[in-house]
């Protein structure tokens, strides 16, 4: 009986020793105590890149903070260690324009920028703009046990339509924890700073200090945050008329139907190649007078738009910022003209289809020809001769009567 008790007691000791060996060092086991001082928050940037004329729809991006892996560096014969982050679940991030934590929200109300910012990947000031938001990470609840560099991983996710996510979905965040023991001898720890960079690969992304420690200087992999691109296309439709009976004053009505869009999404319409309001003229239907070409369209709750436009010869409309996979159909009221879809040179894309990643240029060519009759001169001539002869006859008769 005593022998069995001794075996159980020995097993318990062995198990406790084993657990102690695998358990990470905690703040409770540290002589530094639990409270951390210093800079307790850090931030990272989030960019969404879009075409200059596009209006961004509602979209959300999620972020997860996890503990990175420990890593030993050997640079120039000097060694030091990056420690695995601890208590990642205690790192908090409030929602940015969202009531949901760890979320950054964007929608059409956000202000875009078109400056000289070189930190936005793929940004071209002449052709694009971007939205910038800042997320803040709070480390105040993390209880670091010892001085060191603690590594965390920030992972982004999002399945927003027509958005090309940053190909690198993770960022590495190193937290620099220093000894801040004061003259009173009370041991303290202080977060002195943070460095955010793009990868945790085998390349030496940390510069070695003179005393076997990191200087916190990052080289090629330094990165400010995540950049995603909202990919859109432009839909252009053009009007041309031809023929000796065709009026270049006449306005024709076009009906554009868009389906499978994003509910409540707004798209801009470039009407600089057309008229804002349709004037009256002899060639145009009276009912078109005073109609307008809108400068903005909004998808309804089902993701649909139906809108009439009015164009005359040589004019065009450009609907900008359509997301991918929107179905479009453009029809025309040709009246007594012969209408040819996609008939204008360089505007040959179909008048109905689905948007992809390439701008669409389509058109309608209307023809109205008349034939001038070739027998007009022949038909008039005999009548003229006959009239002349009749006149001569009257003259002769008259003279004869005078002679009597």
Question: Please, what is the Cα angle at 288 between 366 and 235, to 5 degrees?
Answer: 55
Q: Report pLDDT digits (tens) over 311-367.
A: 999 999 999 999 999 999 999 999 999 999 999 999 999 999 999 989 999 999 999
Say yes or no to pLDDT of 375 above 90: no
Domains defined along the chain, listed by start: 24-230 (2.60.40.3050), 232-367 (2.60.40.1140)
Give residue-wise pLDDT tens across range 2-25.
444 444 343 333 333 333 333 344
Q: In the predicted model, what is the mean pLDDT of residues 126-132? A: 94
For the chain, how big is the Rg over CA atoms in Å?
39
The pLDDT of 81-88, averaged and rounded, is 94
Nearest to 197, CA basis, from 180, 178, 216: 216
Q: How many residues does the chain have?
A: 404
Evaluate whether 364 touches 340 at the Cβ level (below 8 Å).
yes
pLDDT for the residue numbered 6: 40
Q: What is residue 203's DSSP assignment?
A: S
Rounded to whole angstroms, what are the CA distances from 220 to 103, 171, 198, 203?
A: 28, 14, 9, 10
Question: Average pLDDT in the 275-283 region?
Answer: 96
pLDDT tens sequence across 193-239: 898 887 656 555 666 666 666 666 655 555 668 999 999 999 999 99
- In the predicted structure, residue 264 carries a pLDDT above the cut 80: yes
Distances (CA, A) of 180 to 144, 190, 192, 195: 13, 6, 9, 19
- The arithmetic mean of pLDDT across residues 284-307, rounded, is 97
Encode pLDDT of 331-342 as tens digits. 999 999 999 999
Backbone region of residue 314 per phi and psi (left: phi > 0; alpha: psi in -120 to 50; beta: other values): left
d(CA 106, CA 109): 8
Give me the pLDDT at residue 197, please: 83
Q: What is the DSSP letter of 184?
A: T
**215-229, 285-299, 385-399: the lowest-pLDDT one:** 385-399
């Amino acid at each position: 009986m005593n022998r069995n008790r001794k075996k159980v007691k020995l097993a318990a000791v062995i198990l406790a020793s084993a657990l102690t060996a695998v358990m990470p060092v905690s703040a409770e086991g540290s002589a530094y105590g639990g409270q951390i001082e210093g800079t307790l928050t850090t931030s990272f940037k989030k960019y969404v890149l879009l075409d200059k004329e596009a209006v961004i729809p509602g979209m959300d991006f999620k972020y997860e903070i996890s503990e990175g892996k420990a890593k030993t560096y050997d640079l120039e014969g000097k060694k030091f260690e990056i420690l695995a982050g601890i208590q990642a679940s205690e790192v908090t991030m409030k929602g940015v324009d969202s009531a949901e934590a760890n979320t950054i929200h964007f929608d059409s109300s956000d202000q875009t920028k078109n400056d000289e910012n070189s930190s936005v990947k793929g940004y071209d000031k002449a052709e694009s703009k971007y939205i910038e938001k800042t997320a803040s990470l709070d480390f105040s609840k993390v209880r670091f046990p010892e001085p060191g560099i603690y590594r965390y991983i920030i992972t982004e996710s999002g399945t927003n339509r027509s958005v090309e996510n940053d190909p690198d979905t993770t960022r590495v965040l190193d937290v620099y924890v220093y000894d801040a023991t004061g003259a009173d001898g009370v041991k303290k720890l202080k977060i002195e700073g943070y460095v955010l960079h793009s990868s945790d690969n085998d390349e030496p992304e940390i510069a070695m200090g003179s005393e076997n420690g990191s200087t916190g200087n990052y080289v090629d992999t330094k990165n400010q945050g995540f950049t995603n691109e909202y990919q859109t296309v432009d839909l252009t439709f053009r009007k041309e008329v031809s023929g000796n009976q065709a009026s270049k004053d006449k306005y024709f009505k076009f009906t554009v139907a868009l389906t499978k869009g994003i509910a409540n999404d707004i798209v801009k319409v470039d009407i600089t190649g057309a008229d804002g309001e349709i004037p009256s003229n002899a060639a145009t239907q009276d009912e078109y007078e005073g109609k307008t070409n809108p400068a903005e369209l909004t998808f309804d709750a089902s993701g649909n738009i139906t809108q009439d436009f009015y164009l005359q010869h040589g004019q065009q409309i450009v609907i900008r910022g359509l997301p991918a996979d929107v179905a479009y159909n453009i029809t025309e009221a040709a009246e007594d003209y012969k209408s040819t879809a996609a008939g204008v040179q360089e505007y040959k894309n179909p008048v109905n289809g689905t948007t992809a990643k390439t701008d669409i240029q389509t058109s309608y060519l209307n023809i109205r020809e008349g034939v001038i009759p070739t027998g007009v001169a022949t038909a008039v001539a005999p009548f003229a001769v006959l009239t002349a002869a009749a006149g001569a006859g009257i003259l002769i008769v008259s003279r004869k009567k005078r002679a009597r």
